[in-house]
A and B are shown apart, each in its own frame.
Chain A
Amino acid sequence: MPLGNELLQYLLTGLTLGGIYALIALGFVTIYTVTGHINFTQGEFVMLGALTSISMIKLGLPMWLAITVAVAIVGIFGAAFERVVIYPARNSSVVTIIIITIGFSVAIRGVALLLWGTQSYPMQPFSSGPPINILGAIMNRQSIWVLLLSIVVVITLFIFFERTVMGKALKACAINRLAASLMGISPQKMSLFCFSLCASIGALAGIFITPITTATYDMGLMLGLKGFVAAVLGGLTNTTGAILGGFLLGILEAMGAGLISSGYKDAISFLILLLVLLNRPEGLLGKPERDRV
């Protein structure tokens, strides 16, 4: 394959991966900006979405109904997680909340291992047919679904945050929690909604990528960490940055895996995280924090 086609192939692969990372990063950023918490359970929402939808399909539900039910279940799980685990510890330090979410994600993975075992679960692609040839590079149809999902989610979130009062109330909460509560906006309810929303987005990401990667009980760990890297890369408080970070990470990872070695795929992500943290801790689009003297 000529180098040009090869690079295009890596770019398309990177965009697919990037779409998933962007969705997970959006979960990190939305929760962080509204509640101030870094939620390392985000990756487990991805796994729960994928495995729950597979179980629903096995129960005999049509695919789209199974997906809807799985997203709803994970959304409710996200809300319950916020109420039972995060809410009682809401006044704790950032580090405490991080430790709690890491601990809970390990617990969720353990329960998933008991429920679904260690095997990989495949899922039918959403549309059948041969892969599509784009200027000599091959893109399978499920990758297009993944890209479509990320575009739809980003547009929906944009409309939600920019055009609805509820979205603006969430933004107000992120800007100034005290002032928001003085206007009748409940930061607790916003936090609950936020966790539920981000769990649902994570579940969708997991479901859409499963026909490409298959689903396992531990798939959430690495996807969650990559989503976190993408969020940090973009600036952690910036949704545009999260999307940009997700796609950039996906493309760099795919390029590195193709041009150097696929064995270095994960190492590349974490190398990027280290470089960002050392050189530009505020991320690509974040604003540097200044301490007052």
Chain B
Amino acid sequence: MLYVNNLHTWHSWNHALKGITFHVPPGSIVAIVGANGAGKSTLLGTLAGVYRFSQGEITLDGEISKNMPPEKVVRQGICLVPEGRQIFESLTVEDNIILGAYHRWGKNHNSVREEVQKVLEIFPALAPRLKDHAGGLSGGMQQMLAIGRGLMAKPKVMLLDEPSLGLAPLLVKEIFSTILDLKKNGTTILLVEQNARAAMEVADWVYVMDHGNIVLEGNPTELKKDLRVQQAYLGRGYIQEAIAD
């Protein structure tokens, strides 16, 4: 279980997170939605060690995490799949996947090879491209690769930052169906999305962020009925659909 209590983060003089409190139960998908600049990516960056928090507490399975660099946070069991994929473009697909398990390579590299096969079972489209440069993959496949690389870290909680960004609607559907499959396999996911509609389709619980605060929370079914959420994040089309229903 991931508990975040009263988390504050500053970017120079900008108070980006103003006392965020929430939790992510094991085996669930928790989504954080909000407009641009709400602090969603800062929140994931802070949990992953990219940004330092000035106050508050992060607890993972009863262990309190202090400010640590990302390479240590991933060892604790929190793995961030960053916005924009951030794959190693000039390395092969296989190298990208293997590097996901870098922090435990020395201990058991034979099992790492087996885990590559498991990732390929989840993302079969990557199998024929293993020896290709990752930079040559389409946006959707790069996103699959980024998630697959993250899975190799065997995280207790996987943080997904805008996985649908820049993808065609069909690919978005595919990525979100994979996210649901990951949950079925027991992966705990904290999902940050601007595509609130897609996020609410897969999430068990949703937090709404605005200006560095959590302003609303609830299960997706309830939140979809909330007029403020409909107006701010689900768009005019959704409201019309809701009225028609």
Q: Interface residues, chain A, CB within 8 Å of chain B?
A: 165, 168-169, 171-172, 175-176, 178-187
Expressed in whole angstroms, the minimum distance between the Cβ of A239 and any Cβ of chain B is 12
Could you show 16 A-B contacts with beta carbons less than 8 Å apart?
Answer: A165-B109, A168-B91, A168-B95, A169-B99, A172-B88, A172-B95, A172-B99, A175-B89, A175-B91, A178-B82, A179-B86, A179-B88, A180-B88, A181-B69, A183-B74, A184-B75
Which of A165, A175, A185 touches B71 (beta carbons < 8 Å)? A185
> How far apart are the CA atoms of A103 and B34 in the complex, in Å?
50
Whether A183 touches B102, Cβ cut-off 8 Å, given contacts A168-B91, A176-B88, A178-B86, is: yes
Is the Cβ of A165 less than 8 Å from the Cβ of B102? yes
Within 8 A of A (CB), among B65-101: 69-71, 74-75, 79-80, 82, 86-91, 95, 98-100
Is the Cβ of A165 less than 8 Å from the Cβ of B98? yes
Within 8 A of A (CB), among B84-127: 86-91, 95, 98-100, 102-105, 109
Residues of A close to B90: CB separation below 8 A = 171, 175
In the complex, which residue of chain B has the Cβ closest to the Cβ of A171? B91
Is the Cβ of A181 less than 8 Å from the Cβ of B89? no
> How far apart are the CA atoms of A175 and B96 in the complex, in Å?
12
Residues of A close to B71: CB separation below 8 A = 181-187
Residues of B close to A186: CB separation below 8 A = 69, 71
> How far apart are the CA atoms of A182 and B82 in the complex, in Å?
9
Expressed in whole angstroms, the minimum distance between the Cβ of B59 and any Cβ of chain A is 21
> How far apart are the CA atoms of A110 and B90 in the complex, in Å?
42
In the complex, which residue of chain A has the Cβ closest to the Cβ of B159? A182
Highest count of chain A CB atoms <10 Å: which of B74, B79, B91, B99: B99
In the complex, which residue of chain A has the Cβ closest to the Cβ of B100? A183
Whether A182 touches B102, Cβ cut-off 8 Å, given contacts A172-B88, A175-B91, is: no
Which of A175, A179, A183, A187 touches B153 (beta carbons < 8 Å)? A183
> How far apart are the CA atoms of A53 and B199 in the complex, in Å?
64
B48 contacts partner chain A, Cβ-Cβ < 8 Å: yes
Expressed in whole angstroms, the minimum distance between the Cβ of B201 and any Cβ of chain A is 27
B224 contacts partner chain A, Cβ-Cβ < 8 Å: no
B8 contacts partner chain A, Cβ-Cβ < 8 Å: no
> How far apart are the CA atoms of A168 and B103 in the complex, in Å?
13
Is the Cβ of B99 less than 8 Å from the Cβ of A165? yes
> How far apart are the CA atoms of A175 and B80 in the complex, in Å?
18
Whether A184 touches B102, Cβ cut-off 8 Å, given contacts A171-B91, A175-B91, A178-B50, is: yes
Expressed in whole angstroms, the minimum distance between the Cβ of B111 and any Cβ of chain A is 14
